[in-house]
């Protein structure tokens, strides 16, 4: 059975709100409108709500699994599938967490390179970012949680800047409602769920939560906050842009910042992109923590050594992950795989746990 985490390493249920919200708001918020409006048009805001509702359901299932089993994902796999096959499935999860962290990091580098510093070196950018990641994760999970806490609160002012385009927006573009059929809105909801991915890390840090059962409501509040943020920016985008304008842009959210005018700054998108690192740091830290923690539990290796190896591997990728087409292809593969394991595998895992735990309970 799983060892109980020492109480001095645990966090309060309230902090789960920030863990969930910080890992869902990443670099994808810069351009999610384009993929949605290609299929759902002015009804894309409905797809945002639909996807948020689906995430709430999966979060409920995750807590049903964790509250009943009192295990993290690694020990749960060993309990259900045995040591070897369970470890293999767990290893796939850890690779997935690592891959998502890599996508977030290199996508942010691409934004910085295109909008701010065209000649910036990917190696030194990634190296400096990974130093912060290493320092944070080696401090322990409570430090990672603290970074997530401040990563939500400090840059929250950025969302207030999206009120600037309101005076230039025509919100009649939202009408007529249900202008697209259910299939199109459903496809839009599927595309939107890819922006919510990351909440499945709960399966790994659940043992670090004091009175984990009480944290479920905070996880749902975190998902609700994420949904409101995506919904707010989507409504502003529909009102400000035409459908063709959004579809033909890579990062519509950054374009919204271009009209922000303040007496002390001319190009606010530079400040926005720079400040966004406060949101991306906890995002990447939590993914890399989950990956290194999973490998530690699978192979019984010191997590610090695992982390050093993983970060060195990520740094070496700076020589290969170049070009937007390559990044888009990798992002599509990882996003689709993330959808499968989050929205299909987790419900199946819950059903399987109910069956096997009942069988084992009868035999014992």
User: How far is 213 from 66, CA to CA, in rounded Å?
Assistant: 8
What is the per-residue pLDDT for 3?
A: 67
Instruction: Give pLDDT, residue 307.
Output: 96
User: Which range has the worst mean pLDDT, 52-56, 110-114, 328-332?
Assistant: 328-332
The answer to which of 101-105, 177-181, 312-316 has the lowest mean pLDDT is 177-181
Q: Which pLDDT tens digit goes with each residue over 219-260? A: 999 999 999 999 999 999 999 988 888 888 888 888 888 887
pLDDT by residue (tens digit) across 56-65?
A: 999 999 999 9
Give strand ranges (E) for 70-213.
none
182 bridge partner residues: none
Mean pLDDT of 292-314: 95
pLDDT at 2 over 80: no
State residue 6's pLDDT score: 79
Tell me what percent of the residues of the chain surpass a pLDDT of 90: 53
The answer, yes or no, to whether residue 1 has pLDDT greater than 60, is no
pLDDT tens, position by position, 132-156: 999 999 999 999 999 999 999 888 8
Of 188-197, 213-222, 247-256, the range with the highest mean pLDDT is 213-222
Q: Which residue has the higher pLDDT, 158 or 343?
A: 343
Q: What sign results for the dihedral spanned by CA atoms 323, 130, 19, 292?
A: positive
- Tokens 């299932």 found at: 61
Domains and CATH numbers, the chain: 12-363 (1.20.1740.10)
Q: Where is 348: in which H helix or E strand?
A: helix 346-363
Of 259, 211, 254, 208, the closest CA to residue 233 belongs to 254
Mean pLDDT of 184-211: 90
Q: Quote the DSSP letter at residue 175.
A: P
Average pLDDT over the chain, rounded to an integer: 89
Whether the per-residue pLDDT at 92 is higher than 90: the answer is yes
Smallest Cα–Cα separation from 97: which of 297, 325, 322?
297
User: Mean pLDDT highest for which of 6-15, 30-39, 224-233, 269-278?
Assistant: 224-233
Q: What is the pLDDT of residue 363?
A: 63
Copy the structure tokens of residue 265: 């700054």
């Amino acid at each position: 059975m799983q060892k109980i985490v020492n109480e001095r390493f645990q966090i309060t249920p309230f902090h789960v709100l920030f863990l969930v919200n910080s890992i869902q708001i990443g670099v994808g918020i810069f351009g999610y409108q384009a993929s949605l409006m290609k299929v759902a048009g002015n009804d894309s805001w409905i797809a945002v709500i639909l996807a948020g509702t689906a995430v709430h359901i999966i979060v409920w299932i995750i807590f049903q699994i964790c509250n009943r089993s009192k295990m993290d994902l690694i020990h749960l796999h060993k309990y259900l599938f045995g040591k070897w096959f369970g470890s293999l499935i767990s290893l796939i999860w850890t690779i997935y967490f690592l891959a998502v962290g890599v996508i977030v990091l290199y996508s942010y580098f691409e934004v910085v390179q295109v909008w701010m510093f065209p000649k910036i070196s990917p190696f030194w950018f990634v190296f400096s970012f990974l130093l912060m990641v290493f320092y944070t994760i080696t401090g322990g999970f409570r430090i990672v949680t603290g970074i997530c806490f401040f990563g939500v609160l400090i840059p929250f002012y950025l969302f207030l800047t999206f009120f600037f385009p309101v005076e230039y927006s025509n919100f009649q573009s939202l009408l007529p409602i249900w202008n697209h059929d259910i299939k199109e809105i459903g496809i839009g909801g599927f595309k939107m769920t890819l922006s919510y991915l990351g909440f499945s890390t709960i399966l790994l840090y659940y043992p670090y939560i004091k009175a984990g059962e009480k944290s479920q409501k905070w996880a749902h509040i975190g998902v609700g906050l994420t949904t409101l943020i995506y919904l707010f920016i989507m409504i502003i985008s529909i009102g400000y842009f035409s459908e063709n304008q959004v579809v033909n842009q890579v990062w519509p959210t950054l374009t919204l910042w271009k009209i922000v005018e303040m007496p002390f700054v001319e190009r606010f998108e530079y400040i926005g992109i720079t400040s966004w690192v406060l949101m991306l740091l906890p995002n990447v830290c939590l993914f890399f923590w989950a990956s290194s923690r999973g490998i530690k539990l699978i192979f019984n290796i010191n997590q610090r050594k695992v982390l050093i190896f993983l970060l060195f591997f990520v740094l070496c990728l700076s020589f290969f992950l170049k070009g937007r087409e390559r990044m888009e292809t990798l992002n599509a593969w990882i996003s689709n795989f993330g959808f499968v394991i989050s929205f299909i595998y987790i419900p199946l895992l819950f059903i399987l746990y109910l069956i096997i735990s009942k069988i084992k309970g009868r035999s014992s």
